[in-house]
């Protein structure tokens, strides 16, 4: 499952443009972790392979600096590009049209986290039955401009309806899509392990404060699953976060 010591309550996905360019992404990643993000995913569908490798490496270094400075553990995930995840010893997340779960697992090995996107009960079931997926990103909850090819919005009730079976199957479930701090009261009782955001942190003038606000609101508004009802315990993590 997720690495030992990693809190999935707040999951941040980078957006190079919203962060202010590739040179700014590592700074935003550092600040997001400082504000409470336990998982960070590096995503850039437009970067070529060399540029993405450099970006992922810089983000890995930013996460390590944050861990050392703040005494906390965070996981860095690569979106889709399993070769980069394999090369850098990172976790990986795939969409329904990306590399298969089996390919992702072979690339990163048994000790890394493999996540997958899901927007239907069938996709959640397939992830659970794969024996490969550790985490499922359920959404979009609301329409979002950062992913124009996303499925129809699930809404809060749709998120809750998929999160329950996902967690019952042992998957870590995070909600994604249009999530902002002011919308978290609408997700009360969603029963997810975490919330996943892009623009709410990437476009913020103060990413650390934004992350802190989001995580606190997710807890205060009762969005997260009750303590003690979490998905099965994590495997221990190796050298790379």
44 is in an annotated binding site: yes
Q: Domain locations in the chain?
A: 10-221
229 is in an annotated binding site: no
98 is in an annotated binding site: yes
147 is in an annotated binding site: yes
Burial class from Cβ neighbours inside 10 Å (0-12, 13-18, 19+) for residue 240 reads middle
42 is in an annotated binding site: yes
235 is in an annotated binding site: no
DSSP assignment string, 105-165: HHHH-TTS-EEEEE-SHHHHHHHHHHS--SEEEE--SS--TT-TT-----HHHHHHHHHHH
Query: By three-state DSSP, how is residue 194 classified?
Result: strand
Q: How confident is the prediction along the chain (241 residues), in pLDDT tens digits per residue? A: 689 999 999 999 999 999 999 999 999 999 999 999 999 999 999 999 999 999 999 999 999 999 999 999 999 999 999 999 999 999 999 999 988 999 999 999 999 999 999 999 999 999 999 999 999 999 999 998 776 677 899 999 999 999 999 999 999 999 999 999 999 999 999 999 999 999 999 999 999 999 999 999 999 999 999 754 545 444 333 334 5
97 is in an annotated binding site: no
Q: In this structure, what DSSP letter does residue 184 have?
A: G
pTM for the whole thing? 0.93
Q: Which two tokens stand for residue 131?
A: 């024996």
144 is in an annotated binding site: yes
pLDDT at res. 185: 98
Q: 10-221 has which fold? A: TIM Barrel (3.20.20)
């Amino acid at each position: 499952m997720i690495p030992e010591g990693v809190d999935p309550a707040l999951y941040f996905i980078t957006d190079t443009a919203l962060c202010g360019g590739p040179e700014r992404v590592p700074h935003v990643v550092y600040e997001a972790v400082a504000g409470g993000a336990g998982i960070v995913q590096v995503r850039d569908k437009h970067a070529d392979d060399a540029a993405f490798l450099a970006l992922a490496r810089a983000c890995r270094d930013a996460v390590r600096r944050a861990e050392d400075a703040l005494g906390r553990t965070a996981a860095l995930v690569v979106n889709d590009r399993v070769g980069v995840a394999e090369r850098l010893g990172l976790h990986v997340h795939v969409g329904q049209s990306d590399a298969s779960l089996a390919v992702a697992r072979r690339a990163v090995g048994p000790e890394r986290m493999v996540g997958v996107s899901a927007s239907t009960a069938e996709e959640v079931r397939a992830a659970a039955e794969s024996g490969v997926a550790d985490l499922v990103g359920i959404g979009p909850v609301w329409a979002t401009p950062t992913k124009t090819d996303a499925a129809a919005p699930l809404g809060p009730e749709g998120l809750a309806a998929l999160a329950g079976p996902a967690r019952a199957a042992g998957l870590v479930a995070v909600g994604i899509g249009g999530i902002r701090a002011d919308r978290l009261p609408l997700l009360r009782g969603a029963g997810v392990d975490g919330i996943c955001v892009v623009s709410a942190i990437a476009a913020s003038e103060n990413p650390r404060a934004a992350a802190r606000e989001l995580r606190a609101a997710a807890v205060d508004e009762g969005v997260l699953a009750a303590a003690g009802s979490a998905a099965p315990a994590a495997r221990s993590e190796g050298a790379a976060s």
